[in-house]
Structure 1
Amino acid sequence: MSVKVAVVGCAHGELDAIYTRINTLPDDMRPELLIICGDFQALRSKADFTSISMPEKYKRLGDFHRYYEGTEVTPVLTIFIGGNHECGDLLAQLPHGGWVAPKIWYMGTNGVVWYKGLRIGGVSGIFKAFDFYKKRYETAPLDGKSVRSFYHTRFEDIFKMFLLRDLNMNCFITHDWPEGIAHYGDLDRLLRRKPFLKGDIEKGELGNPYYMVLLKRLMPNWWFSAHLHVKFEALVKHETKRKLSSDAREVKRVHTSNGNGIGLQAMNQDEIDLDLGDEQPKNEDEIDLELDQQPQNQDEIDLGLDDQLNDKEVVSEVADEDLETTTSEDKLYAKGFSQTNFLALSKPLPNHPFFQIVDVPVTNNHISSESDKLYYDNEFLQITHWFERFKKTQGYRSMQMDQLSKPSVLEQLSKEINNAGFKLKHDLTVWDNFEPTLANPAEQTSQFIKRFM
């Protein structure tokens, strides 16, 4: 069993072009879900121009406002994560995700949801070292500084994902590429199309340096990205043994085709690449809106850990053995896929490969399999509930990415999460609570907090 998913790189407000592509497909090729990997540009009116980071000459309203107002209808459920050209005044009010229009769901700064039996995670924004360890402070209406900083990925986004122990992640979505992913695909072809990327690739500065660490931790079946306006495919192999995953609320059975419980998924030869363009010269109209900024004084970051973590191990690089935890409870959790298929796509322009259909195998027996609704992920809700309190402690304020390579740290944090007393008071269905009003985004977030926090 699989779900036909349409994947788009950057949208840049061109929803009509994207949905027209879908509407022209024959019925047997129509996707059940559309994933957009950032730069969605959910501009409701020209008043939102003040909260999007781009030069004035590039600002245009785009197509989204008609779907927001209801004069145009979305033909397929759409999920997106934020990039670096977004309507900050809208998205900053939906940190836990929410509807921005009927059938268009924003994943939040970080989030995990279910649809049709697929477990889908995502992190918004792009990497900027000087903001990575800062707490997220931006609130709407954004000012001149926060218009830019609001889309900078934070440590907390990756930290929360690192705490997932059920690694049955079918799809993961980011705007940035994982740093180093270029070496897992056809690097020569990439550089023929984007030769100016060579310097960053050689210096190890192309993409988010912590996404590759996260990719090797989560081991998702698919990882989708955008940002660089180029199509690129790669394959990252993992050493893992998948196990049956279950808990008191839901049972997930791994469907395998090879009978050994590993569930290998090669790049699907039946994938449909509907774009005809291949080698593309650099588009001089493409804009890089990130200005050079100086990182903060590194001495301001406390490298120590709070004593409550009770960790005495030496910091080590993330290796395969670090991914195995030591508690008997962890034996209940799936250990990820044996390989991650990476796909990056471009933006909607003539002859640009911005759209692709992917058949994503369903590996979970989840209530969403028999529904047209989106569902929140129980484990990620539990982590989010606990994190809202933990982020105020010295233990968190002093934590760095190095700490996440320590199995004992992850084990201790997992115990704290389990002891936090999170209990569901409602089912996990995502409510259809969108209204095209200025107050609605904040109302959705208030309802989420009241329901789960």
Structure 2
Amino acid sequence: MVNIAFEGCCHGELDKIYRSLQKLSVPIDLLIIAGDFQAVRNARDLSCMAVPVKYQHLGDFHSYYSGQKVAPITTIFIGGNHEASNYLWELYYGGWVAPNIYYMGAGNVLNFNGVRIGGLSGIWKEGDYYKGHFERVPYTEGTKRSIYHIRQYDVVKLYQVSEPVDIMASHDWPAGIEHFGRLNDLLAKKRFLKSDIDNKALGSAPAMTLLKKIRPRYWLSAHLHVKYAAIVKHKPTEQPTSVSMDQTSRVTEYSARNTANNTPPKDGQNANGNGEENGIGTDELMPTTVQAASSLANEDEINIDIFSEREGSKSSPPNGQTLVDCRDDSRATDIRSQELSKSCGDHADAFPKTSTSPVPEPTESAPAIADENNCFDETRFLALDKCLPRREFLQVIHIPTQEHVGAHRLCYDPEWLAITKATEPYMSLNGYQPNLFTTAGEQEALKESIRQAREWVEKYVVEVGKLEIPSNFMATAPCSQSDDSSKGQFQPVEYNNTQTKEFCDLLGIQNRIWRDQS
């Protein structure tokens, strides 16, 4: 069994997260963070992070980057919409941002002790979906934001995954997932989301398309600063959704199917009606001042929507209030690990009661690109909060594995390496991304390219023992030695990351991430 801790939004609070994990009675093998990690190395990196000046703080990461501290647990993370995007671009294919902390890149599938983990960084915004990866420093106010909007190209790559995936992570929620949990409970916590839900404007349509295609055991998200669980049941004979990547971003109309179990629990009960406390987000090291949830406001909280342009959620908090959900002091105040079992029957209290309806069908369809995969009958979705007092920001997931757990090996995934090698020539580095595999002939050619690339990977990577990700972190930018009083007034230069070069050399592909400035 592999014990994996899942954290919602990080927002630079690594020290508190690691201290929280050390308080658990279960040993943790791996930590997954679902975005807004904020790998800020110095004050200049702050100028590349899309947050108002009042939220530009160095956080804890620079101490791990410099080597002053070392992550006590192997940590992997995806990008969100509040990131030092200049640093993450250096590691587009993935890489160590600091010793023992690995960024999954724009999209990726990795293997940890036999557990297969996929991730999609960023959030969805339809206007940028069909563009290439054109943003480079120095960023404008526009490109500082568009750089973290997911691209069709990266979704296409993930859509080719056909082997079973245990965990998928995305920062924003798959569109329509809210209808597969206790929706009334969600609206009681975040009532301003109702407008988006009613208008089918909440979440990422491409992420839901990937959920239906990949059908992982778990899907983990963050972004909305709330804990929410759901179960999507897949029909045993269900074919993968026929949605071409040319149309994915237009899949915005989902059937509004409310579940039959949306009645909020009675007083004194949790979402499962058993009266037990499932809270797992309180860090005793942080302040625990008791205040009513209806009256507490935290002026330092980063709102979900802090820009004039609407991203992820088109509704504003009521009366301009910040987004705060405090827990009553009558609830438990210790961190607990809650097993999320594969079997609903054996551990029914792991999630709220949910609908057993299949994922609502998209309104548009076209021939699928990839074949049906050998995946799971249900996908268990979980979103968590950010690291704050009395908030549910941490969960432990136990995944069975046939590999020796003590190895703690983070490895490349052979299928993903093949997909990356086969699709690299199609990546655009300008504002326009040509149509990708829209005809049956192009789709068949892609499948054949991936098959040939897989043979190459088996011969030149797997058979020669190069699957384990090397510990090849190397600092590329100066580390902050002072406070963040300058607030990132000047943007940094572009740095060449040797990890990306080594990865491209491993696959025999061109390193186009580094723009040669000689």
TM class by shorter-chain length? 0.7 to 0.9
Q: Distance in 1 between matches of 2:135 and 2:121?
A: 14
**Which of 359, 380, 387 does residue 416 from structure 2 map onto?**
380
**Aligned in 2, Cα 1:271/1:32: closer, same or farther, shift over 3 Å?**
farther
The residue identity in structure 2 corresponding to 1:343 is: L
Q: Distance in 2 between matches of 1:324 and 1:448?
A: 25
1:428 aligns with 2:467: yes
If the length of structure 2 is used for normalisation, what is the TM-score?
A: 0.68
Corresponding residue of 2:318:
none
Q: Distance in 2 between matches of 1:77 and 1:103?
A: 5
Q: Distance in 2 between matches of 1:81 and 1:419?
A: 29
Decide whether the 8 Å contact of 2:160 with 2:369 is kept in 1: no
- Local SS of the residue matching 2:475: coil
Q: Distance in 2 between matches of 1:271 and 1:104?
A: 32
Decide whether the 8 Å contact of 1:177 with 1:211 is kept in 2: yes
The residue identity in structure 2 corresponding to 1:286 is: I
Corresponding residue of 2:195:
199
Percentage of matched positions with identical amino acids? 39
Q: Distance in 2 between matches of 1:280 and 1:3?
A: 36
Query: How many residues in Structure 1 have an aligned counterpart in Structure 2?
Result: 387
**Which of 281, 293, 302 does residue 286 from structure 1 map onto?**
302
Matches within 5 A, 1:391-406: 391=427, 397-399=434-436
1:21 aligns with 2:20: yes
**Aligned in 2, Cα 1:318/1:184: closer, same or farther, shift over 3 Å?**
farther
**1:149 Cα offset (Å):** 1.2
**Aligned in 2, Cα 1:134/1:322: closer, same or farther, shift over 3 Å?**
closer
Decide whether the 8 Å contact of 1:88 with 1:140 is kept in 2: no
**1:112 Cα offset (Å):** 0.7
Matches within 5 A, 1:131-210: 131-166=128-163, 168-210=164-206
**1:339 Cα offset (Å):** 0.3
**Aligned in 2, Cα 1:51/1:208: closer, same or farther, shift over 3 Å?**
same
Matches within 5 A, 1:403-418: 410-418=443-451
**1:49 Cα offset (Å):** 1.1
Decide whether the 8 Å contact of 2:111 with 2:117 is kept in 1: yes
**Which of 48, 54, 59 does residue 57 from structure 1 map onto?**
54
**Which of 85, 88, 91 does residue 88 from structure 1 map onto?**
85
**Which of 355, 364, 378 does residue 339 from structure 1 map onto?**
378
Q: Distance in 2 between matches of 1:444 and 1:374?
A: 15
1:442 aligns with 2:497: yes
The residue identity in structure 1 corresponding to 2:189 is: R
**Aligned in 2, Cα 1:371/1:317: closer, same or farther, shift over 3 Å?**
farther
**1:390 Cα offset (Å):** 3.4
User: Considering only aligned residues, what root-mean-square deviation do their CA atoms show, in Å?
Assistant: 3.2
Decide whether the 8 Å contact of 2:414 with 2:454 is kept in 1: no
1:110 aligns with 2:78: no
**1:386 Cα offset (Å):** 1.0
Decide whether the 8 Å contact of 1:322 with 1:407 is kept in 2: no
1:351 aligns with 2:390: yes
Which is helix-richer, 1 or 2? Answer: 1
1:275 aligns with 2:266: no
Unaligned runs of 5+ in 1: 243-266, 295-314
**Aligned in 2, Cα 1:38/1:431: closer, same or farther, shift over 3 Å?**
same
The residue identity in structure 1 corresponding to 2:38 is: Q
Corresponding residue of 2:328:
none
The residue identity in structure 2 corresponding to 1:340 is: T
Higher relative contact order, structure no. (Cα contacts within 8 Å, ≥ 6 residues apart)? 2
Decide whether the 8 Å contact of 2:171 with 2:223 is kept in 1: yes
The residue identity in structure 1 corresponding to 2:186 is: L
Q: Distance in 2 between matches of 1:139 and 1:122?
A: 23
**Aligned in 2, Cα 1:283/1:178: closer, same or farther, shift over 3 Å?**
farther
**Which of 42, 47, 62 does residue 45 from structure 1 map onto?**
42
Q: Distance in 2 between matches of 1:318 and 1:430?
A: 38
**Aligned in 2, Cα 1:391/1:240: closer, same or farther, shift over 3 Å?**
farther
Decide whether the 8 Å contact of 2:161 with 2:416 is kept in 1: yes
1:113-166 CA distances to partner (integer Å, 9 max, x unpaired)?
Answer: 000110000000011111001011123454433211110111112111111121
Decide whether the 8 Å contact of 1:217 with 1:323 is kept in 2: no
**1:240 Cα offset (Å):** 3.2
If the length of structure 1 is used for normalisation, what is the TM-score?
A: 0.78
1:323-369 CA distances to partner (integer Å, 9 max, x unpaired)?
Answer: 994xxxx7xxx51100000000010111111111111233xx56x86
**Which of 215, 219, 225 does residue 219 from structure 1 map onto?**
215
Corresponding residue of 1:33:
30
**Aligned in 2, Cα 1:323/1:219: closer, same or farther, shift over 3 Å?**
farther
**1:107 Cα offset (Å):** 0.2
Corresponding residue of 1:263:
none
Decide whether the 8 Å contact of 2:162 with 2:370 is kept in 1: no
- Local SS of the residue matching 2:40: coil
Unaligned runs of 5+ in 2: 239-271, 283-287, 312-361, 478-493, 510-518
Q: Distance in 1 between matches of 2:277 and 2:101?
A: 24
Q: Distance in 1 between matches of 2:204 and 2:142?
A: 22
**Aligned in 2, Cα 1:163/1:225: closer, same or farther, shift over 3 Å?**
same
Decide whether the 8 Å contact of 2:415 with 2:454 is kept in 1: no
Q: Distance in 2 between matches of 1:236 and 1:323?
A: 23
- Local SS of the residue matching 1:111: strand
**1:16 Cα offset (Å):** 0.8
**1:417 Cα offset (Å):** 2.2
- Local SS of the residue matching 1:200: helix
Decide whether the 8 Å contact of 1:90 with 1:441 is kept in 2: no
Decide whether the 8 Å contact of 1:7 with 1:356 is kept in 2: yes
Decide whether the 8 Å contact of 1:67 with 1:101 is kept in 2: yes
**Aligned in 2, Cα 1:165/1:34: closer, same or farther, shift over 3 Å?**
same
- Local SS of the residue matching 1:346: coil
Q: Distance in 2 between matches of 1:137 and 1:232?
A: 35
**1:373 Cα offset (Å):** 2.1
